[in-house]
Amino acid sequence: MNKKSILVTGGAGFIGSHLVRHFVKKYQDKYYIINLDKLTYAGNLENLKDIENYDNYKFIKGDIKDIELVNTIFEKYNIHSVIHLAAESHVDRSIENPLEFVTTNIIGTLTLLNAAKKHWKNDDDNVFYHVSTDEVYGSLGETGKFLETTSYDPRSPYSASKASSDHFVRAYSHTFGLNTMISNCSNNYGPYQFPEKLIPLIINNIVNNKTLPVYGDGKNIRDWLYVEDHVKAIDQILHKGKYNETYNIGGDNEWMNIEIVHKLCDTVDEKLGRSPGTSRKLITFVKDRPGHDRRYAIDSAKLKSEIGWLPETDFATGLEKTVDWYLNSQDWLENVTSGEYLNYYKKQYEQ
């Protein structure tokens, strides 16, 4: 094949499916995209039905911890680069079962790094791109933003596992000469996000007249980034970024959790023809999550100045597009919430 093969891990998940779709459609003559996904509760091939028959796309069901499988993929498809998104990503689940996050997020990343080290020559232009999170930096006060130089201070088993995997990626760069890139992004939102995360959870519960759980006082602040803007940033970093560098990706879009919930209540009520204030009555403040970081905010100045990326989707537009997608995708929601999800969250989210 004349096309370069890119291995995308976790490509059936939320961010991964958007990234796979973007690369498959945009680079039909340049890249052959191999999507390796274990298809856990958050991975869903329905997310990619529109591209499953493209001739530059292949899906492989498998675990990134499977050493034999990963090495076979590198050999068979002559993998040129890796975009590594596969991870256990929900903080609540990491508090419940930290070991699962260690094995997937750390051991899985090491398995991929070892395969890259084995199959790539240091003088080639192969690159291992690791997609990470702003949570590795810890928590901010009322002012300031995370920089690429901010010291790591993870506060949850999830963020600790991601911080560790970041460090291993950098270590393989320094020790073995592997070409690497890391990006740390703020909170993503948009279509196809599994409804354990705040925005789809609240939308789904509003539709079904269920309790809207808000941790603590609801004043924890996050920087929100529309998922398609994140994918475009990854694309630009891969093609224009420098090897062995880190880039922060943020939306310049800080909101308190309770403000997000209020916006969603009012937007969904209006779209469903309900009386104003109907869904706000469903808001219930629940016991705060252990170690809940107070504020995240990303400084994307390096990405903007060196590469020229800017977020394109303002929050009002992105949130409305997201709400519309979930309201029009009730079959998708029913399918993904019919199994493990409801069992796991029954006590917490069904009151």
pLDDT tens-digit series, residues 186-201:
999 999 999 889 999 9
- How many C-beta neighbours within 10 Å does residue 338 have? 9
Tens of pLDDT along 83-124?
Answer: 999 999 888 889 999 999 999 999 999 999 999 999 998 778
- How many C-beta neighbours within 10 Å does residue 119 have? 15
For 83, the 3-state DSSP assignment is: strand
Asked whether the predicted pLDDT for residue 290 surpasses 90, the reply is: no
Per-residue confidence at 336, pLDDT binned at 50, 70, 90?
A: confident
The predicted model gives 148-159 an average pLDDT of: 96
* Of 328, 214, 340, nearest in space to 265 by CA: 214
Per-residue confidence at 316, pLDDT binned at 50, 70, 90?
A: very high
List, in sequence order, every residue forming a beta bridge with 57; answer none if it has no partner: 33
Output the DSSP codes for 92-156. Answer: HHHHH-HHHHIIIIIIHHHHHHHHHHHH--TTS--EEEEEEEGGGG----SS--B-TTSPP---S
pLDDT of residue 349: 39
User: Which of 15-53 are b and which e, b meaning 16 or more Cβ less than 10 Å from the residue's Cβ?
Assistant: bbbbbbbbbbeebeeebbbbbbbbebebbbeebbeebee
pLDDT of residue 339: 61
Strand 245-249 and strand 283-286: the pairing is unpaired
User: Which of 307-333 are b and which e, b meaning 16 or more Cβ less than 10 Å from the residue's Cβ?
Assistant: bebebebebeebbeebbebbbebeebb
Give the containing element (helix H, strand E) for 177.
none
The residue ranking higher by pLDDT, 168 or 196, is 168
The predicted model gives 231-248 an average pLDDT of: 98
pLDDT of residue 289: 86
Residue with tokens 């760069």: 173
Tens of pLDDT along 251-284?
Answer: 999 999 999 999 999 999 999 999 999 999 999 9
Domain 4-189+224-249 has CATH 3.40.50.720: yes
**Token pair belonging to 22:** 């973007």
> CA-CA distance, 42 to 192, in Å (whole number)?
10
Asked whether the predicted pLDDT for residue 337 surpasses 90, the reply is: no
Min mean pLDDT across 142-146, 154-158, 171-175, 345-349 is at 345-349
> CA-CA distance, 135 to 119, in Å (whole number)?
31
Class of domain 198-221+255-290+315-349: alpha beta
Asked whether the predicted pLDDT for residue 342 surpasses 80, the reply is: no
> CA-CA distance, 295 to 274, in Å (whole number)?
33
> CA-CA distance, 196 to 336, in Å (whole number)?
10
For CA atoms 113, 115, 121, 124, the dihedral sign is negative
The predicted model gives 282-311 an average pLDDT of: 94
Angle between helices 227-240 and 14-26 (to 10 degrees): 60
- Confidence (pTM): 0.94
Residue with tokens 């791109």: 129
DSSP type of residue 61:
E
pLDDT of residue 335: 83
- How many C-beta neighbours within 10 Å does residue 215 have? 17
Ordered by start, the domain boundaries in the chain are 4-189+224-249, 198-221+255-290+315-349
Angle between helices 315-327 and 198-207 (to 10 degrees): 50
For CA atoms 256, 261, 264, 265, the dihedral sign is negative
Catalytic residues: 134-135, 158
User: Which of 229-266 are b and which e, b meaning 16 or more Cβ less than 10 Å from the residue's Cβ?
Assistant: bbbbbbbbbbeebeebebbbbbbbbbbbbbebbbbbbb
- How many C-beta neighbours within 10 Å does residue 220 have? 21
